[in-house]
Structure 1
Amino acid sequence: MSTGTASHASSSFAALLRLLRYARGYRRRIIAATSCSIINKIFDIAPEILIGVAIDVVVNQEQSFVARLGFVTPQEQMLVLAVLTFFIWAGESIFEYLYKILWRNLAQRLQADLRLETYEQAQRLDMAYFESQSSGQLVATLNDDVNQLERFLDGGANALIQVGVTVVAVGAVFFVLSPLIALLAFTPIPLIIWGAFFFQKKAGPLYADVRQKVGDLSSRLSNNLAGIATIKSFTSEAREAEKLRQVSEAYVEANQRAIRVSSAFIPVIRMAILAGFLATFTVGGFLALRGDLNVGAYGVLVFLTQRLLWPLTGLAEVIDLFERAMASTRRILDLLHTPVTIQDLTDATWSAPVQGQIRFESVSFHYPSSPGGVDQVSLHLPAGQTLALVGATGSGKSTLMKLLLRFYEPQAGRILIDDQPIDQVSLAALRGAIGLVSQDVYLFEGTIGENLAYGRPDASEAEIIEAARLAEAWGFISALPDGLDTQVGERGIRLSGGQRQRLSLARALLKDPPILVLDEATSAVDNETEAAIQRSLAQISQGRTVLMIAHRLSTIVQADQIVVLEGGQLVEQGTHQQLLALNGRYAAQWRVQTGLMSP
């Protein structure tokens, strides 16, 4: 076997060993299913042996092998063989039923658990991971890759085990009856095994490419369906269909390359099998004609040669399933073992009820793949006050919000809430104390009521309605025919942008957090909606710490503090009036937005 072939084989079997280590909790089920596969195959081989014994009875009668067991007449011997045949066929059928049930149930259970565990791991991963990976690749791993593994466990695992059992069991019978013919019959097997590994080496990278193309196709479909309104508005349907066709064709071509390699395996192996069968057929026949081999034994050898060699043609399909499954297994287990850098102290909580004081102490952070970030930012926001962050795009406003939520870890400095470092409490405790209203509102498919209660599933209808009133969302909700039971559609597509933004605010309010973060919450709404949200904020900010990120300076005039960021650094800080008096960057931006000077 060549070095490359051995290397690739070891890679695939390394993936199999990783899978077995992962599946150690299913060990009893695997052992039970494997035992049933082995017993079934032994029963499956037995009829060929009985045919040879029957031939021996017909030819040798009172001198047959069965006669030596105490059954003298040929009639008795045939009856014994008939009874044995019945029990063997019954046993084969019973264990076939058992192994199919066990393997298929194992496949279903393992794929369900693996998909859930992989999804939970994806939820634990850092935001940086999602910013470097396409959602389509993740969906392909969670769905299609897990299904590939399920298909292998459904049939391929049993086939692989039974091929091994066939070689061992039939080989044992052969060497007992005729070592010479056994040697001839087994001669093609090394060639078949070498061919299997050779084709495995060729097919492995091709199937890895197929898995990649599946992810690309999934990404394209996901992105296009999410952006269908943009596609329609630019009348780009034909162009997008062509792009999808190209990605789909790339997937088809990748599959065709893999299929060409795997399909070539069977014709090559059939010729090797033919050589082994002809050797047994002719050499065994000559030995029987000379009287050196019992006629019944010759019959057993001919039948068992087929039983030994012909199933090996199915090795191509098994290897095809195995390679697909191992390519998928590597992707699944790689995702499961992706390191999580944001460490969660799951049992740590706040030393006292959160009041909402926030402190950034010399905080620095830079993104690995972009120039954005913050440098040595120090801020103090007393509990119950409102602080607004302003600055140009890329100045670091959203970075501070992400650091506060521990989507990222500071590379220098620290962040404290109520004088307690946020990395000393669990993520659940930290994020449970913060309500986020983002510029990019995400509503889950379901009803308005379900979306409002997303942070508090146990909230009563009265509490949901009160939160909607505070966010000035109850007016449009109550006007809908189904009210809170109105379906919002995927990503809230059935609602306007302003309606989605008000629901997002109501959802955060129902959570009733001591800290509220507004990430440009009014940037994408009309003036009426903005005014409504401002009225809401005037009420809800009472006794609550509010951190606002805004482009429209008119929305932050009443903030207790305003911080101006530029290039990731704090350049100005004060109230609205103080910053106007300073006549710096904030004052210049204010004049531009209010029309007091041209930009």
Structure 2
Amino acid sequence: MAAMSGKDEHGRQRGGGFIAFVGLLSGHWRAVSVAVLLTVLGTAIGLAQPLLVKDIVEVAQEGKPVAATVLLVLLGLFLLHAAVDTLGRYVLERTSESVVRVLRRTMIGHLLRLPVRIYDRERMGDLISRTNADTTLVRDAVAFSFVDLVAGGVGVGGAVALMLWIDPQLFLLVLATVSIAGLALVGFLGRISTASEHSQAGVGDMAADLERALAAIRTVKASRAEAVETERIGRRADEAYVAGVRMAKLESVVGPAIELAANGSMLVVLLVGGIRVAQGGATLGELVAFLLYATYLVIPLTEMFQAFGTVQRGLGAMNRVSEVLALPEETGTEPSARVFTAPSGPVAGPQPPALEFRDVWFGYEERPVLNGVSFTVPRHAHVALVGGSGAGKSTVLALAERFYEPVSGKVLLDGHDIGEMSRFATRSRISLVQQETPVLRGTLLDNITYAAPETSRAEVEWVVDVVNLGGLVSRLPHGLHTEVGDHGVRLSGGERQRVAIARALLTSPSVILLDEPTSQLDPVNEAALTRVLRRVTRECALLVVAHRPSTVQAAERIVVLESGRVEAVGTHAELLTTSRTYAGLATGTLAGKAV
């Protein structure tokens, strides 16, 4: 999509909507051309009909019989006109759906490839609204406007030529009437695009707030906040209503102006034309033909004015779509072949660490978070990362997973700088198990194989055994093919954790990152997960952000972060005597609170 030029009153980029709109038709010109040709052909057939009507009326006025063949030709033209118009409209409708399908797929792929920092900034509901509601307006602009403008121009040109041929003076009167309506519309059509953009922005804000509430619906209900959220989202609906009314005011001028052009033209033709026929200045057949051509002039003009309004709304929506498509994507995320290789045990001989942070500095915008962090995670080791709130623990995981890039320093995977690797290659070797352990709607099998859908049944059975999910699978009514519900609501917290670990293991990673895996587990499930983690270290290394004493003490090595720096590294027993920070956490905050 073309980059946008210029800015609106809110400082947003504008001007590329039209270029992007035209660019949508790239690759579809053949189908669009067919639709245009069919519509133009239909218009030409329609323009021929009044001439036949004129001859029929004049023959009848002279008292002569009307030939049946002429009536059949007129009927044939009428039916052919309808058939050609119908076919042209179908081709265009199908093409517009194809165009918007491509646009939506482009947006979906683009949205899923944005850097994490953009997700941190943008509102998910608004991005979703741009993908569905705004693209629907773009579709309408493509389907109902482009051909109307082209074919309408042809129809207007043909009608004007034939009206000038039949009665130039009467045509000038019709032109004056239509011009009055046209002048009334010119100043409004350009403002419809901006009003439409504001209206869609209001709808997007409402969708964003609704998505926010529904994503946390259990918290909303438990907090008895239904009324609060209803009011909050309702205010967004009110804002969308105000913007919609503003656009309705502009569009309300279009209808009466078009009606003025249509009714005024008909009145002028009937009044002046009738007088001319009565005075012998024109024949009845000429008046009937002229009246029909006036209709052929006004109706295409009406459709063109309406098309302009639809295009303006589509351009407003296209501006919002282009804003999303202008956001930079992550690089190096292209898929490549992934072959499952069963993880092996430690190999003899010196080897680089599975993961190493070497003098890493990082901050969010102007807020420093990590200040020269250095530590290693040996192969097949279980390393715990502890520290107070804001020490930088989750940031370490985000940098390892390449959600962000260090300001300086290096992160090494198996001895290789991940900055020199593609993100796909990095993420295929480093798996992340988040604190909230997302489980997606679908079957248990879908969730386990989500990161490696090509895995075999034997591989699934292997990972189910490693993470101790066999009991769960046997209890479920349909085993691995049982639906787990939205966000995995039919599974317990411990079961979701193990599903997430199984999903991570199937990618054969060098390292699995776990963000506070036991924070929501009871002691029984915590102990079970600890046993699972012990088995997992036979397959790969673990870096675990932890705060519970049992989880921390289960690690072979503990890295203590303090104010974005590594304060100490060692075992639980060593750190109790060598690290004042760790000792304070272990005797105070560590016991049951976040570290």
Where on the TM-score scale, by shorter chain, does this alignment land: which range? 0.7 to 0.9
* Distance in 2 separating the partners of 1:42 and 1:100: 16
Which of 238, 243, 246 matches 1:257? 246
Match of 1:16 in 2: 18
Match of 2:287 in 1: 298
* Distance in 2 separating the partners of 1:268 and 1:348: 59
Which of 223, 236, 246 matches 1:234? 223
Match of 2:429 in 1: 433
Which of 491, 514, 517 matches 2:513? 517
Structure 1 window deviating more from structure 2 (21-30 vs 383-392): it is 383-392
Q: Kindly indicate whether residue 406 of structure 2 is the aligned counterpart of residue 415 of structure 1.
A: no
Q: 5+ residue gaps in structure 1?
A: 1-6, 62-73
Match of 2:159 in 1: 170
Which of 498, 514, 538 matches 1:542? 538
Q: Per-residue deviation at 1:291?
A: 4.9
Match of 1:106 in 2: 95
- Would the aligned equivalents of 1:367 and 1:373 in 2 still touch at CA under 8 Å? yes
Q: Kindly indicate whether residue 364 of structure 2 is the aligned counterpart of residue 367 of structure 1.
A: yes
Distance 1:426 1:131, change over 3 A: same
* Distance in 2 separating the partners of 1:196 and 1:412: 58
Match of 2:372 in 1: 376
- Would the aligned equivalents of 2:153 and 2:300 in 1 still touch at CA under 8 Å? no
Equivalent position amino acid for 2:319 in 1: R
- Would the aligned equivalents of 1:196 and 1:319 in 2 still touch at CA under 8 Å? no
Q: Per-residue deviation at 1:134?
A: 1.3
3-state DSSP of counterpart to 2:553: coil
* Distance in 2 separating the partners of 1:184 and 1:329: 39
Match of 2:319 in 1: 330
Q: Deviations over 1:292-346 (max 9, x none)?
A: 5454333322221122124534555434432332222222222122222x32174
If each structure's helix is expressed as a fraction of its own residues, which one has the higher value? Answer: 1
* Distance in 2 separating the partners of 1:595 and 1:107: 61
- Would the aligned equivalents of 2:466 and 2:536 in 1 still touch at CA under 8 Å? yes
Q: Kindly indicate whether residue 441 of structure 2 is the aligned counterpart of residue 453 of structure 1.
A: no
Match of 1:591 in 2: 587
Distance 1:194 1:563, change over 3 A: farther
* Distance in 2 separating the partners of 1:320 and 1:120: 30
Match of 1:67 in 2: none
Q: Kindly indicate whether residue 53 of structure 2 is the aligned counterpart of residue 51 of structure 1.
A: yes
Match of 1:581 in 2: 577
Structure 1 window deviating more from structure 2 (101-110 vs 324-333): it is 324-333
Distance 1:570 1:494, change over 3 A: same
* Distance in 2 separating the partners of 1:311 and 1:524: 66
Q: Per-residue deviation at 1:551?
A: 1.9
Match of 1:149 in 2: 138
Matches within 5 A, 1:338-357: 338-340=327-329, 342-344=330-332, 346=334, 357=354
Equivalent position amino acid for 1:253 in 2: V
Q: Per-residue deviation at 1:515?
A: 1.4
Equivalent position amino acid for 1:359 in 2: E
Match of 1:246 in 2: 235
Identity of aligned residues (%): 27
CA-based RMSD of the aligned residues comes to 3.0
Q: Deviations over 1:476-519 (max 9, x none)?
A: 33223332222211111122222211211222123331211111
Structure 1 window deviating more from structure 2 (563-572 vs 316-325): it is 316-325
Structure 1 window deviating more from structure 2 (123-132 vs 153-162): it is 153-162
Q: Per-residue deviation at 1:433?
A: 0.9
Distance 1:126 1:498, change over 3 A: same
3-state DSSP of counterpart to 2:24: helix
Match of 2:349 in 1: none
Distance 1:356 1:51, change over 3 A: farther
* Distance in 2 separating the partners of 1:194 and 1:470: 76
Match of 1:195 in 2: 184
- Would the aligned equivalents of 2:549 and 2:591 in 1 still touch at CA under 8 Å? no
Match of 1:309 in 2: 298
Matches within 5 A, 1:69-218: 75=65, 78-218=67-207
Distance 1:382 1:36, change over 3 A: same
- Would the aligned equivalents of 1:514 and 1:544 in 2 still touch at CA under 8 Å? yes
3-state DSSP of counterpart to 2:371: strand
- Would the aligned equivalents of 1:356 and 1:515 in 2 still touch at CA under 8 Å? no
Equivalent position amino acid for 1:396 in 2: G
3-state DSSP of counterpart to 2:403: coil
Q: Per-residue deviation at 1:589?
A: 1.0
Q: Per-residue deviation at 1:558?
A: 4.6
3-state DSSP of counterpart to 1:24: coil
Q: Per-residue deviation at 1:428?
A: 2.0
3-state DSSP of counterpart to 1:359: strand
3-state DSSP of counterpart to 2:357: strand
**Structure 1 length-normalised TM:** 0.87
Equivalent position amino acid for 1:201 in 2: G
- Would the aligned equivalents of 2:451 and 2:503 in 1 still touch at CA under 8 Å? yes
Q: Per-residue deviation at 1:585?
A: 0.8
Structure 1 window deviating more from structure 2 (194-203 vs 137-146): it is 194-203
- Would the aligned equivalents of 1:357 and 1:383 in 2 still touch at CA under 8 Å? yes
Which of 486, 489, 503 matches 1:493? 489
Q: Per-residue deviation at 1:539?
A: 1.4
Equivalent position amino acid for 1:419 in 2: G
* Distance in 2 separating the partners of 1:482 and 1:295: 81
Q: Per-residue deviation at 1:105?
A: 1.0
Q: Per-residue deviation at 1:287?
A: 4.7
Q: Per-residue deviation at 1:595?
A: 6.5
Q: Per-residue deviation at 1:230?
A: 1.6
Q: Per-residue deviation at 1:101?
A: 1.6
Equivalent position amino acid for 1:124 in 2: R
* Distance in 2 separating the partners of 1:321 and 1:463: 54
* Distance in 2 separating the partners of 1:557 and 1:12: 57
Distance 1:14 1:30, change over 3 A: farther
Match of 1:32 in 2: 34
Q: Deviations over 1:421-479 (max 9, x none)?
A: 22332222211111211101111111112111112223333432332232233223322
Distance 1:278 1:543, change over 3 A: closer
Q: Deviations over 1:159-210 (max 9, x none)?
A: 3334322211111212333333333322344443433332223332322122
3-state DSSP of counterpart to 1:454: coil
Distance 1:125 1:595, change over 3 A: closer
Structure 1 window deviating more from structure 2 (443-452 vs 141-150): it is 141-150
3-state DSSP of counterpart to 1:361: strand
Aligned residues: 572
Q: 5+ residue gaps in structure 2?
A: 1-7, 344-351
Match of 2:395 in 1: 399
3-state DSSP of counterpart to 2:558: strand
* Distance in 1 separating the partners of 2:151 and 2:219: 54
- Would the aligned equivalents of 1:348 and 1:425 in 2 still touch at CA under 8 Å? no
- Would the aligned equivalents of 2:335 and 2:424 in 1 still touch at CA under 8 Å? no
Q: Per-residue deviation at 1:289?
A: 5.1
- Would the aligned equivalents of 2:576 and 2:582 in 1 still touch at CA under 8 Å? yes
Q: Per-residue deviation at 1:251?
A: 2.8
* Distance in 1 separating the partners of 2:232 and 2:305: 34
3-state DSSP of counterpart to 2:367: coil
Structure 1 window deviating more from structure 2 (478-487 vs 97-106): it is 478-487
* Distance in 2 separating the partners of 1:80 and 1:237: 73
* Distance in 2 separating the partners of 1:155 and 1:201: 18
3-state DSSP of counterpart to 1:224: helix
* Distance in 1 separating the partners of 2:21 and 2:529: 52
